[in-house]
Amino acid sequence: LTNLNTSKWGKEKFYFLNEVDSTNNYAKKLASEGKPEGTVIVAEEQSAGKGRLSRKWISAKGKGIWTSFILRPNILPNFAAQITLVMAVGMIKALEKNLGVSAKIKWPNDILINDLKVCGILTEMSAEIDRINYVIVGIGLNVNQSNDDFPDEIQDSATSLKICLGKEIKRVQMLQVILEEIEKVYNLYLEKGFSEILDEWKNNSCTLGQEVIVKMPKEIIEGMAIDIDSGGCLIVKDKENIIHKIIAGDVLVRKK
Ligand code: BTN
C-alpha cells in the first residue's frame, strides 16, 4: 500500500499473510500482546474464516478482501455494538468512493448490492465490566468471485463486486480506500459521538421501515423495523404493537 492516506490505520503495524485460519483470531492474538489501535491484518486466504452466529465465512484465495483491525476505543463495553454500525457506514462510503457503487446496509452488519450480500462484518471484543481491552473488527468483502465460486447454499444470496460491475476489481486499491474511509468515520465517531453516524447508517439502511422477520436462537419476531437505538439495537414493533429491542439476530426483510 504505497499511497495509503491514513494517519494511523495500517501505517504502524500492517500484517500481510498468505494463509491464516482467521484474520480475527490472528488479530486477537496480536491485540492480547499489546499491539496498538490501527493494526491491520490482511490475508490472501483463510482456512477457517468465521461469520456471525458461528457460521463459516468462505474466504477463497485471492478472491476477496479478508481483513481485521485492532481498535481500542475509550467507550463503555455496552456501546461496543455501535462499532459494527460505524464500520458498516465506512464500508458504504468506501464502495461509493472507489467504485461509485451504492450499497445498502442490512442490520446489523451486512452490506448488500442489489439485495445480495457482498460484505460481512464480524466484531469481537475483550472487555472488563467498565472498560474495553480491545475490539477486533473483521471485514470480508467478496471482490472477484464469479457465481460458480460460491457454494450452492449461498448462490442465491451472495454476490461479488465483479459480478455487480462486470469487471475485475483491483483489491489493493479497494483495500486502501476502505482503510481511509473507515479511519475517517471511526475518528468522527470518537470525536463527535454516535448520533451523526447513526443518521448516515439510517440513510443507507434497507432494514428500517420494512416488514421484517427476526430469527433469534429462542424466538422469532415479526413486525416493522422502526428504529435503531443509541446502543445499536434494532427496534421492531409487532402486530400487537409490542416493541422489541433486538440485540442480535438474523433479519429477513420481507419483499413487498
Ligand atoms: C458475517 O457476515 O457473518 C461476518 C463475516 C465476517 C468475515 C470476515 S473475513 C475477515 C475476518 N476474519 C474472519 O474470520 N471473519 C472476518
Residue with more model confidence, 28 or 11: 28
- With 80 as the cut, is the pLDDT of residue 28 above it? yes
Residue 194: CB atoms within 10 A of its CB come to 19
Q: Is the CB of 49 under 6 A from ligand 1?
A: yes
DSSP per-residue codes, 88-153: HHHHHHHHHHHH----EEETTTEEEETTEEEEEEEEEEEE-SS-EEEEEEEEEEE-S--GGGS-GG
Q: Residue type at 191?
A: E
CA distances from residue 133 to 34, 35, 71, 129, 227 in whole angstroms, order as listed: 10, 11, 9, 10, 29
Which residues are known binding-site members?
22-24, 46, 117
Q: What is the mean pLDDT of residues 192-219?
A: 94
Q: Is the CB of 63 under 6 A from ligand 1?
A: no
CATH 2.40.50.140 fits 211-253, yes or no: no
Nearest CA to ligand 1 atom 9: 140
Alpha helix positions (H), the chain: 23-32, 81-99, 161-165, 171-192, 195-203
pLDDT digits (tens, 9 = 90+) for 3-22: 788 888 888 789 999 999 99
C-alpha cell at 104: 445498502
Q: Is the CB of 120 under 6 A from ligand 1?
A: yes
Fold topology of 14-203: BirA Bifunctional Protein; domain 2 (3.30.930)
Please report the pLDDT score of residue 10 as a whole number: 87
Please report the pLDDT score of residue 256 as a whole number: 65
Q: What is the mean pLDDT of residues 108-118?
A: 95
Q: How far apart are CA 113 and CA 164, in angstroms?
A: 8
pLDDT digits (tens, 9 = 90+) for 181-192: 999 999 999 999
26 Cα to the center of ligand 1, angstroms = 12
pLDDT digits (tens, 9 = 90+) for 46-96: 999 999 888 999 999 999 999 999 999 999 998 898 999 999 999 999 999
239 Cα to the center of ligand 1, angstroms = 34
Q: Where are the domains of the chain?
A: 14-203, 211-253
Give the chain's count of helices (H) and strands (E): 5, 12
Q: How far apart are CA 148 and CA 70, in angstroms?
A: 33
Q: Is the CB of 138 under 6 A from ligand 1?
A: yes
Mean pLDDT of the residues in the chain: 94
Burial level of 172, CB count in 10 A (0-12/13-18/19+)?
exposed
Residues in the chain: 256
Q: Which of 243, 206, 204, 203 is nearest to 223 (CA)?
A: 243
Please report the pLDDT score of residue 105 as a whole number: 97
Q: What is the mean pLDDT of residues 156-160?
A: 95
8 Å CB contact between 214 and 224: no
Q: Is the CB of 50 under 6 A from ligand 1?
A: yes
ipTM over 0.90? The verdict is: yes
Please report the pLDDT score of residue 16 as a whole number: 96
Which residues are known binding-site members for biotin?
22-24, 46, 117
